[in-house]
Chains A and B, each alone.
Chain A
């Protein structure tokens, strides 16, 4: 018997070549990897990624000693601020005992975004999406390396997750801010 006369031989060839053709030219596919990378520093990679868990990393990238208050419980009225990352990236202290301060009607996100800020997302509850917007806002003119950030809630805004996925349905989500305590005092007073 000859190999070329075996229907099984032709079937397996036809199938494998068809699989390659369909994979390459018929099915939609994304790039398997990316190029032009110049960032190898882990802290910078996380900051550039706008990771949903990345807030503790970004804060400690910019300030040597960071205290955070008014985080609350992410399964109730607060937002996520991951314990393991707090330890790894050495956030000095985190107080979750109080919910974020409600600034709705007192200050708008637009006003706060005049200051230096970093936009990201965080895990939260109490709405259809499990993601809330989270802004880290501080006074860029102040060079002090020691900062305290206070969790506050402002009016709902368009989900930042939608910007990552243009095909997704646009929706408003809860919006939290970790606000530099100096700014908080200047803008709102107290604390």
Chain B
């Protein structure tokens, strides 16, 4: 038990310290920022050491770098860092206590057992060549890698609630950034209502201890979407925000196989801006393509094997292809990426519904049952989201609200299409089955925080709700 306290504390504080060194100094951002830095370090070190068959070194190197970051930052930093450290300490202690002392655990699910099996392989420094099948690739990379840092033979049980807390901190940061000019009482009131609707619903609570990569993907996606909305509003992508969006894209791309597609949709409004630097586009897209290729190469994935290319050639092609949107000759398309993506996905979805109407009939019913009739354990949460969006500020829409609405719509369509493709690659497109454990039903865990932020911003900015015609002032 003490090992787990120490490990999670080091991951938390080391991540926060390195984030501080890199310029991520906001209290609420430091927790998710540090978490995502830990993800990048763990993935890169493990993959690198795996190439030379010295996987056992990766754990030592990971903890060594975190400890070094901690010592250097503690030496240099002032009181600001200590506030972040205290928050990180409290969250990591609470997370570990909840699982190790109180004994709380996630709902049992076969996917969790698959992830724990992968965790065991990493813990044993076993042969990664076993992971070249269709199943392992669907269970993610970053999340089992981090889970394997627990005591020998065990998993890091406090990590899952810690990631959830990081998501909570990220929501607070994004909301504070996006509503900095709004009346505080509006923000508090709407936040209270949304907290009530969210935590009366089973699925958002289930995600706290549920062993799966969804919440880690959600952290990456919200980081990317939040920064996109802030940057579009400010006509500026600061160095700190660029780092956050890159970390978010990397995290989402390496935690779930659909992550790269969904996070790409989240950053589309940002990379389609006319003012964004081309180098920033390269960094953002490169974070996703590099992370995904590194994962596929490490797992000896059947996807790379099917191309008959060496992994480094595959990686070079994918990363280079990802750079194309930054080229000037593609600017005409890049500036229109958001409407093009939305229209393409809508057409694709409708076409699939028409062509495969018999195959999809059952899935459509399951989708409705899961989202609106309680079978998916979402209660009527999505009813509240729909109404919240409808009552948002539609007349005088701000750039950030417009961006969030575009991202929300893209993510809904993107989730439906990725689910269809999951079955569709084997010739049986589907929209899932009734029940909480259906993969599409669980995929909403990855985007529900973005939906909540969209609703909150829309409601806070709609002066008609607050009985004021003037734009609110803080």
Binding site for B on A (CB under 8 A): 1-6, 8-9, 11-13, 15-17, 19-24, 27-38, 40-43, 45-46, 49, 51-54, 57, 82-85, 87-90
Cβ–Cβ < 8 Å partners of A16 in chain B: 193-194, 196-197, 384
**With contacts A23-B381, A34-B104, A37-B99 known, is A5 near B467, CB below 8 A?**
yes
Can you list 5 A-B contacts with CB-CB less than 8 angstroms, sorted by A residue number?
A53-B110, A83-B130, A84-B117, A88-B130, A90-B126
Nearest neighbor of B134 in chain A, beta-carbon distance: A84
Between A20, A21, A49, the greatest number of chain B beta carbons within 10 A of the residue's beta carbon is seen for A20
Cα A138 to Cα B465 with chains together (Å): 70
Could you tell me the distance between the alpha carbons of A23 and B151 in the complex, rounded to whole angstroms? 38
Are A35 and B102 closer than 8 Å at their CB atoms?
Answer: yes
Interface of B toward A, CB cutoff 8 Å: 99-100, 102-108, 110, 113-114, 116-121, 123, 126-127, 129-131, 133, 135-136, 150-151, 153-155, 157, 190, 193-194, 196-197, 200-203, 205-206, 208-210, 374, 377, 379-381, 383-384, 387-388, 391, 436, 459, 462, 464-469
- Cβ B208 vs Cβ A33 within 8 A: yes
Q: Are B120 and A88 in contact (CB under 8 A)?
A: yes
Complex: how many Å from CA A43 to CA B155? 11
Question: Would you list the 6 A-B pairs with minimal beta carbon distance, nearest first?
Answer: A87-B130, A23-B379, A32-B205, A20-B200, A16-B193, A37-B105
Instruction: With a 10 A CB-CB cut-off, give which of B106, B119, B380, B459 has the most chain A CB atoms.
Output: B380
Chain B residues within 8 Å of A6, by CB: 464-467
CB-based contact A23/B201 at 8 Å = yes
Bound form: Cα–Cα A9–B469 in Å: 14
Instruction: Judge whether B459 and A42 touch: CB under 8 Å.
Output: no
**In the complex, chain B residues whose CB is within 8 Å of the CB of A12:** 190, 193, 387-388, 391, 459, 465
Whether B374 and A88, one on each chain, are in contact in the complex, defined by CB atoms closer than 8 angstroms, is: no
Q: Given A19-B381, A84-B117, A88-B130, A33–B205 Cβ distance below 8 Å? A: yes
Q: Contact between B127 and A87 (Cβ–Cβ < 8 Å)?
A: yes
User: Would you call A8 and B157 a contact (CB within 8 A)?
Assistant: no
* Distance from B78 Cβ to chain A, minimum over Cβ atoms (Å): 39
* Given known contacts A9-B465, A88-B130, A22 and B380 CB-to-CB distance under 8 angstroms: yes
B139: min CB distance to chain A, Å: 10
Q: Write the nearest CB–CB distance from B363 to chain A, whole angstroms.
A: 18
Chain A residues whose CB sits within 8 angstroms of the CB of B436 once the complex forms: 30
A41 touches B153 (CB 8 A): yes
Q: Could you tell me if B379 and A19 are in contact, using CB atoms closer than 8 angstroms?
A: yes
Q: A20-B197, A22-B379, A37-B105 are in contact. Are A32 and B465 (CB under 8 A)?
A: no
Do A27 and B379 touch across chains, with their CB atoms under 8 A apart? yes
B122 to chain A, nearest CB (A): 10
Cα of A37 to Cα of B161 in the assembled complex, Å: 15
Question: With the chains together, A87 CA to B157 CA distance in Å?
Answer: 24
Other A-B pairs beyond A19-B379, A40-B154, 17, CB < 8 Å? A5-B467, A8-B462, A11-B391, A15-B383, A16-B193, A22-B379, A23-B197, A23-B200, A33-B104, A33-B210, A37-B103, A38-B103, A40-B150, A42-B116, A45-B116, A51-B110, A82-B135
Q: List B contacts of A22 (CB < 8 A).
A: 379-380
Q: Which residues of A contact B117 (CB under 8 A)?
A: 42, 46, 57, 84-85, 88-89
Determine which of B99, B113, B467 lies in contact with A1 in the assembled complex, contact meaning CB atoms within 8 Å: B467
CB < 8 Å neighbour of B193 from A13, A29, A33, A52: A13
A122 to B9, CA, bound (A): 40
Q: Which chain B residues lie closer than 8 Å to A41 at the CB level? A: 153-154
